[in-house]
């Protein structure tokens, strides 16, 4: 897992506005991509792939709400031309074309004369923090979506339309927009659960053991939290403006649903904030554990040194080769009757003396001084 993640670079989250496409090529004879359309009303629905715009016009005329989904990015360099064609048909603004092509937009809501343009970022894979852009247009009787990749998290919405579950078939296009945005916001929850699991594992590891990989794992989580927050924060703002603003395309009843969706976004942000703070608190615990380990190791070193170095000196002294024959002062101890036992006792005495000296100097009492000073 660590290896795979390493290759999602920071650079990968980045691209410059206006640099993706070579705009110099003429925009005429580009084939329309396969367009997936669902039209529905209270009484039924029709779902098909269309190739010509004329088909769309028929659907628009016959059904209360039509959801048109396009995957322009699959066409690669032609993506822009495809979107420009759509822009002409639906009279979308030139700037919007840029926003769809450059798929690293922040979530936002822009109001144009006859439609509403919403950019959202959805999570598809529960193990990946990679978000995909979903651009959405709301018109009077249609919703037009452009996906970054030919996958999305909207199957639940499609199922609701197909099975007529909930109020969706009774409602207008603004409710469809709500349903899509709601599915997008809720697509964050599985990844949040996965993040929570990862934090739980690290929490166990930090509080009970000492694992050197913890900082790297924690770093991955913090980067994921940062990325998610960067995606969801603008979504909250966008939802806020959808609730507040008096946009004619959105009914008051739908606004209630959007308010609920906004609450979900706020909850996600709350959780992310908490994860961030928990991570940094765990990091601090990890630090102190590292420092405790060092203290332990040093204590071991010190104890060995205190126990073995002083008697080693004594042994060294009585290993000296001074000639006791040339002088009565030269190591007469070596000839004493109790010389050897005395030397051994001297070693023990020296060691104890050093321990006592350090103890009374207070250097050995460092570990928990209060336990002594309390009554």
Residues 325-344 that bind a copy of itself (CB under 8 A): 326-327, 329-331, 333-341, 343-344
Smallest gap from residue 356 Cβ to a copy of itself (A) = 13
Does residue number 26 form part of the binding site for a copy of itself (CB under 8 A)?
Answer: no
Q: Which residue has the tokens 């350090």?
A: 358
**Mask of contacts with a copy of itself, 44-73, x by CB under 8 A?**
------------------------------
Sole binder of a copy of itself in the list 88, 219, 243, 348 (CB under 8 A) = 219
Among the candidate windows 12-20, 34-42, 51-59, 140-148, which touches a copy of itself by CB under 8 A? 12-20
**Closest CB to a copy of itself among 61 and 294?**
294
CA distances from 12 to 57, 76, 184, 256, 281 (A): 39, 18, 22, 37, 29
Does residue number 193 form part of the binding site for a copy of itself (CB under 8 A)?
Answer: yes
Does residue number 13 form part of the binding site for a copy of itself (CB under 8 A)?
Answer: yes
CA distances from 237 to 48, 112, 223, 230, 231 (A): 35, 18, 22, 12, 11
Does residue number 310 form part of the binding site for a copy of itself (CB under 8 A)?
Answer: yes
Sole binder of a copy of itself in the list 74, 114, 128, 203 (CB under 8 A) = 203
The H-or-E segment that residue 279 falls in is: helix 252-318
Does residue number 28 form part of the binding site for a copy of itself (CB under 8 A)?
Answer: no
- For residues 27 and 86, the answer to whether their CB atoms sit within 8 Å is no
**Closest CB to a copy of itself among 53 and 104?**
104
For the chain, the distance separating the N- and C-terminal CA atoms, rounded to the nearest angstrom, is 54
Joined tokens for residue 348: 């023990």
- For residues 146 and 100, the answer to whether their CB atoms sit within 8 Å is yes
The number of helices, as runs of H, and strands, as runs of E, in the chain is 11, 7
Among the candidate windows 3-11, 48-56, 129-137, 239-247, which touches a copy of itself by CB under 8 A? 3-11
Short-list 130, 103, 110, 108, CA closest to 234: 108
Does residue number 286 form part of the binding site for a copy of itself (CB under 8 A)?
Answer: yes
**Which of the residues 238 through 277 are near a copy of itself (CB under 8 A)?**
256-257, 259-260, 263-264, 266-267, 270-271, 274-275, 277
Smallest gap from residue 362 Cβ to a copy of itself (A) = 8
**Which of the residues 147 through 166 are near a copy of itself (CB under 8 A)?**
none
Joined tokens for residue 217: 């794992």
Q: How far apart are CA 266 and CA 106, in angstroms?
A: 17
DSSP letters of 203-258?
HHHHHHS--TTHHHHHHHHHHHHHHHHHHHHHHHHHHHHHHHS--TTS-HHHHHHH
Q: How many residues bind a copy of itself (CB under 8 A)?
A: 134
What order do you get walking across the sheet with 44-50 strand by strand? 44-50, 35-41, 65-70, 142-147, 131-138, 116-123, 108-111
Sole binder of a copy of itself in the list 51, 127, 287, 360 (CB under 8 A) = 287
Does residue number 1 form part of the binding site for a copy of itself (CB under 8 A)?
Answer: no
Q: How far apart are CA 217 and CA 224, in angstroms?
A: 11
Does residue number 292 form part of the binding site for a copy of itself (CB under 8 A)?
Answer: yes
Residue 16 three-state SS: coil
**Which of the residues 97 through 126 are near a copy of itself (CB under 8 A)?**
98-99, 104-106, 108, 110
Does residue number 11 form part of the binding site for a copy of itself (CB under 8 A)?
Answer: yes
Sole binder of a copy of itself in the list 199, 235, 242, 272 (CB under 8 A) = 199
**Closest CB to a copy of itself among 39 and 254?**
254
Smallest gap from residue 360 Cβ to a copy of itself (A) = 13
**Closest CB to a copy of itself among 2 and 54?**
2
Phi, psi at 168, each rounded to 5°: -60, -40
**Closest CB to a copy of itself among 53 and 278?**
278
The H-or-E segment that residue 117 falls in is: strand 116-123
Smallest gap from residue 67 Cβ to a copy of itself (A) = 21
- By residue count, the chain amounts to 375
């Amino acid at each position: 897992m660590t290896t795979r993640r390493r290759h999602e670079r920071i650079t990968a989250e980045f691209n410059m506005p206006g640099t993706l496409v070579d705009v110099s090529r003429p925009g005429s004879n580009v084939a329309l991509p396969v367009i997936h359309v669902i039209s529905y009303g209270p009484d039924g629905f029709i779902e098909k792939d269309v190739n010509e715009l004329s088909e769309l016009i028929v659907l628009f005329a016959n059904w209360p709400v039509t959801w048109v989904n396009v995957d322009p990015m699959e066409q690669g360099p032609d993506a822009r031309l495809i979107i420009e064609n759509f822009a002409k048909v639906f009279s979308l603004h030139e700037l919007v074309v840029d926003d769809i092509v450059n798929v690293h937009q922040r979530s936002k809501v822009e109001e144009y004369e006859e439609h509403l343009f919403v950019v959202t970022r959805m999570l598809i894979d529960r193990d990946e923090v990679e978000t995909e852009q979903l651009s959405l247009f709301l018109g009077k009787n249609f919703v037009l979506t452009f996906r970054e990749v030919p996958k999305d998290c909207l199957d639940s919405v499609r199922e609701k339309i197909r099975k007529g579950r909930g109020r969706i078939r009774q409602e207008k296009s603004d409710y469809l927009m709500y349903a899509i945005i709601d599915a997008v916001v809720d697509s964050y929850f599985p990844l949040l659960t996965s993040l929570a699991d990862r934090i739980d594992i690290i929490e166990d590891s930090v509080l009970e053991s000492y694992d050197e990989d913890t900082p790297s794992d924690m770093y991955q989580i913090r980067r994921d939290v940062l990325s998610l927050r960067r995606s969801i924060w603008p979504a909250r703002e966008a939802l806020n403006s959808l609730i507040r603003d008096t946009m004619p395309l959105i009914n008051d009843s739908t606004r209630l649903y959007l308010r609920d969706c906004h609450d979900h976004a706020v909850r996600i942000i709350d959780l992310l904030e908490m994860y961030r703070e928990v991570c940094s608190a765990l990091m601090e615990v990890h630090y102190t554990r590292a420092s405790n380990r060092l203290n332990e190791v040093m204590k071991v070193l010190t104890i060995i040194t205190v126990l073995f170095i002083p008697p080693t000196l004594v042994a060294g002294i009585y290993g000296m080769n001074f000639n006791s024959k040339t002088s009565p002062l030269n190591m007469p101890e070596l000839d004493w009757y109790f010389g050897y036992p005395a030397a051994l006792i001297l070693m023990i005495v020296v060691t104890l003396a050093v321990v006592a000296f350090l103890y009374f100097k207070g250097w050995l009492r460092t570990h928990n001084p209060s336990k002594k000073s309390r009554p």
